[in-house]
Chains A and B, each alone.
Chain A
Amino acid sequence: MKIGPILAKRGDWLSPEGGDHPVVISSRVRLARNLSKMPFPGWAKKTERIRILDEIKPEINCLNQMKDGFSEHLNELSAVEKQVLVERHLISREHAAKGVGSAVMISSSQAISIMINEEDHLRMQAITSGLDLLKTFQMIDEVDTALEAHLDFAFDPELGYLTACPTNVGTGMRASAMVHLPGLVLGEQVNQVVNSVNKIGLAVRGLYGEGTEALGNLFQVSNQTTLGEKESQIIERLNKVIETLIQRESQARENLLATRRTTLLDQIGRAYGILTHAHSVSSKEALNLLSIMRLGIDLGFFPEGGRLIINALLMETQPAHLQHFSQQKLAAEERDYRRADIVREKLKSFPKPNNTKESGDHTADPAPESK
């Protein structure tokens, strides 16, 4: 299958079938594997990388999970196509920079994607919507188990799966959740929460980080260590932290509703106003305003059904998506116009925020600070 049809479809984790979670947008688990007796991709010569690719690719093609999937060599993809895959979290930024001797294979549902000759010979990931790291792990574990019957993976009884970078050795697993924390950001508690999570060997970072702010209030929580714990223990540890994050975020949202209702309504109203009327919206502005719209849905100011539209817009307003679907290379300015057009169109039937709901005491509100 060619890349066009794959990109035209939304991934399962952004589709109506995918579950909704007010805080956790997606769960992702990645496994790193290497063939034994072969140099790692970064050290291998071009001919060796091609040989490795030729050995691995047919085995993946045979997998049930990859039936009717998409498969392409990196040198056959355009820069925009690669970037679209990055924006969808199907390949890494590093992989997008690869060419001859590297490939990407994606299942038809886009739940499974496999990078060949990224930093390791194999980087396999599963992504699902909402919070279910264990299920996500099992999906990719099955792929790994099927492949190991045919491929001789580099493994050491003491050190586990051997990877190009010592930071991945052991399980070779990186599990992560994408979390939406607008309450903690608006409540100015996010730094404190992020720091406490980072202290226990898990990493939290803005997903679209530019400077200290996390665009779209989106964060990624992941394990930093891969050796010395079982996969299930790592996931359990992550789950505990994510549960805490969800709790803190919910508290922060309740707190905002109770004490800064007007500020909150103002933010939501402005987000709605700008997105439904603006004619030029930067990618940064879109992310931040769509995040507030999502919060508005979570808090009942917009109908539940709107979440899918917002999820889709979060993806479709990113630079490469815009360019891919408008079939042309766009200058930054044109992208902003086009982005605004798409958002206005998609939000045409979106109702105004319903703020009559359980209105609190407005006098308790502190004066909204000017930005």
Chain B
Amino acid sequence: MICDVCKTNPATVYLTQIVDGNMKKVNLCESCSKDKGVSDPTGFALADLLLGLGETQQVEQASPAEQCPACGFTQADFKKTGRLGCSDCYATFADGLSSLLQAMHKGIKHTGKVPARLFRDLARFDRLNELKRNLEEAVTKEDYESAATIRDEIRQLESGEVDS
């Protein structure tokens, strides 16, 4: 078997992963596997390789944005390196990235650790959204008494946000 990256040397490293029900296979030669950092298994993910094998095309096709306003990173840069320029790039190239993330991960919503500082903001954010839904419901039902109470709570929460 021939290496998928350089297409010249015989492959000696075989990688298989099921992503989204599809089997993805990559065969690498010794030098390409080293180049791709496969020699350090902790730092390595198969998806990493896929990035270098044309899957970055998706980003190009789906993202209207050409360049990250925060750091100047372009789609071409991503295609070349498989790495992004700054944390804002995730928002800049969001459309194209989402399918890529879906293909490489278990889900597309983070459910793990949240920095303590943000945790409070997030809880408030979630509560606010809930209250706004309740408010709409109350208004539709013409339950103006409840609506007034909910509105007060929303106002309180929102002013709290300004405080912190």
Q: A residues bordering B, Cβ < 8 Å?
A: 28, 30, 34, 36-40, 42-43, 92-94, 119, 141, 144-145, 148-149, 153-162, 164-171, 173-174, 176, 195, 198-201, 203, 205, 207, 209-212, 220, 222, 224-231
Task: Select the stretch in B45-53, B130-138, B143-151, B156-164 that faces chain A.
Answer: B45-53
Instruction: With both chains docked as a complex, state the minimum distance between the C-beta of B120 and any C-beta of chain A, in angstroms.
Output: 13
The residue from B70, B83, B110 contacting A156, defined by CB atoms under 8 A apart: B110
Other CB < 8 Å A-B pairs besides A93-B37, A166-B101, A176-B41, 16 of them?
Answer: A39-B73, A42-B83, A144-B113, A148-B115, A156-B87, A156-B90, A157-B110, A158-B110, A160-B113, A166-B104, A169-B110, A205-B38, A212-B14, A227-B101, A227-B107, A227-B108
Chain B residue at minimal CB-CB distance from A153: B115
In B58-90, which residues have CB < 8 Å from any A CB?
Answer: 70-71, 73, 77, 81-88, 90
Instruction: With both chains docked as a complex, state the minimum distance between the C-beta of A116 and any C-beta of chain B, in angstroms.
Output: 16
Chain B hits for A231, CB < 8 A: 112-113
Q: Could you pull out 21 A-B pairs where Cβ atoms are within 8 angstroms?
A: A34-B87, A39-B73, A92-B43, A94-B37, A145-B116, A156-B87, A158-B109, A160-B112, A160-B113, A166-B100, A167-B48, A169-B110, A170-B110, A199-B16, A201-B17, A201-B19, A203-B46, A205-B15, A212-B13, A220-B41, A229-B107
Chain B hits for A39, CB < 8 A: 71, 73, 85-86
* Known contacts A170-B110, A170-B112, A226-B105; A40/B42 CB under 8 A: no
Instruction: With both chains docked as a complex, state the minimum distance between the C-beta of A254 and any C-beta of chain B, in angstroms.
Output: 28
Chain A hits for B8, CB < 8 A: none
Chain A hits for B101, CB < 8 A: 159, 166, 169, 227
**A154–B12 contact, CB under 8 A?**
no
Instruction: With both chains docked as a complex, state the minimum distance between the C-beta of A209 and any C-beta of chain B, in angstroms.
Output: 7
Chain A residue at minimal CB-CB distance from B47: A167
Q: Is B40 interfacial (CB-CB < 8 Å)?
A: yes
Closest 3 CB pairs of A and B: A228-B107, A160-B110, A154-B87
Instruction: With both chains docked as a complex, state the minimum distance between the C-beta of A145 and any C-beta of chain B, in angstroms.
Output: 7
Give the number of chain B interface residues (Cβ < 8 Å): 57
Instruction: With both chains docked as a complex, state the minimum distance between the C-beta of A11 and any C-beta of chain B, in angstroms.
Output: 16
B22-43 contact mask (Cβ, 8 Å, vs A): 1 or 0: 0000000010010001111111
Chain A hits for B13, CB < 8 A: 209, 212
Q: Is B111 interfacial (CB-CB < 8 Å)?
A: yes
Chain B hits for A149, CB < 8 A: 116-117
Chain B residue at minimal CB-CB distance from A89: B42
A144 to B37, CA, bound (A): 25
**B70–A164 contact, CB under 8 A?**
no
